[in-house]
Amino acid sequence: MVTGIAKVRNEAHIISDTLDNWAPICDGGIHVYDDCSNDDTPDLCRRHSAVKEVLQSTLFDPDRERAEWFNRQAVLASAQRFMGPRDWVVYFDADEHLWDFDRSILDRPGVNLVAFRSFDAYIAPEDAHLPDRSYAERRWVGPEYEVCHYFYRNLLAPRFHLPDQRHMSVDPRRGDTHAHVVDRILHWGAAISVDAWERKCDYYAEVFGPKYATKWANRRGKAVQTDMKSRYGNPLVLWEDVRAGKAETMPRRGLPFVK
């Protein structure tokens, strides 16, 4: 059984699509933590057939680094009440979609962790006019990928406990923690729309705290990749070519941002 968990905030433009995307894998249902949304994100989650539970906070935690791990841990702990040690839990953000996944890897007895190559989508000049809800029409991505854990067997006692933690920690005493890497996740965060990009810049520059403030303040006005290059300086490639194995890709780790 696979149980999905997600932490969301003001994701009405994409959350239904994201839940549709993950629902076929999450046969144990999806648990959602809503972090003080002021749009209809919680209602959209409650109405989705795959969602078993929506934990909704109306108290905004100004310590965003604490909130990132605490809120994720809250929904994880709630979901784990209904999970056995051999069951899987997968955490995904509201702007991440799963592609081309062979679920059979989860049935292998010796596999306890599954990682994915995660790619970033971008706004190109040809599609800069598209609004929030038309994000899926964008075709261009960066060739860089980040390898991140997504699926965890519950027997590894996965948990969130570190400031600003996005990927769970595990207990290596519980079982093999060698991660099997498969393809692929598409992260839509930079490609929703120009307006969404500016909202994201405002949040990280003015609300989240000092950790990312300067970096995101400098990203204002740079939603569209006018030079058709990623933020690592490499030419954008078509997502269809990445999926077909026709595009040259590279690990993101160690690559500097160019703007």
> Where does 2-187 sit in CATH, by number?
3.90.550.10
Task: Point out which residues pair with 54 in neighbouring strands.
Answer: 32
Q: Is residue 8 within 8 Å of residue 1, measured between CB atoms?
A: no
Q: Is 201 exposed, middle or buried (0-12, 13-18, 19+ CB in 10 A)?
A: buried
Q: Is residue 68 within 8 Å of residue 163, measured between CB atoms?
A: yes
What is the spatial distance between Cα 65 and Cα 94, in angstroms, rounded to a whole number? 18
Tokens 């920690």 belong to 169
Q: pTM of the full predicted structure?
A: 0.93
pLDDT at 109: 86
What is the spatial distance between Cα 70 and Cα 75, in angstroms, rounded to a whole number? 9
- Residues of the chain with pLDDT below 70 are 254-259
pLDDT at 259: 45
Domain spans of the chain, in order of start: 2-187
What is the spatial distance between Cα 232 and Cα 252, in angstroms, rounded to a whole number? 8
What is the spatial distance between Cα 75 and Cα 86, in angstroms, rounded to a whole number? 19
pLDDT at 141: 98
pLDDT at 218: 94
Q: Is residue 192 within 8 Å of residue 104, measured between CB atoms?
A: no
pLDDT at 254: 62
pLDDT at 253: 79
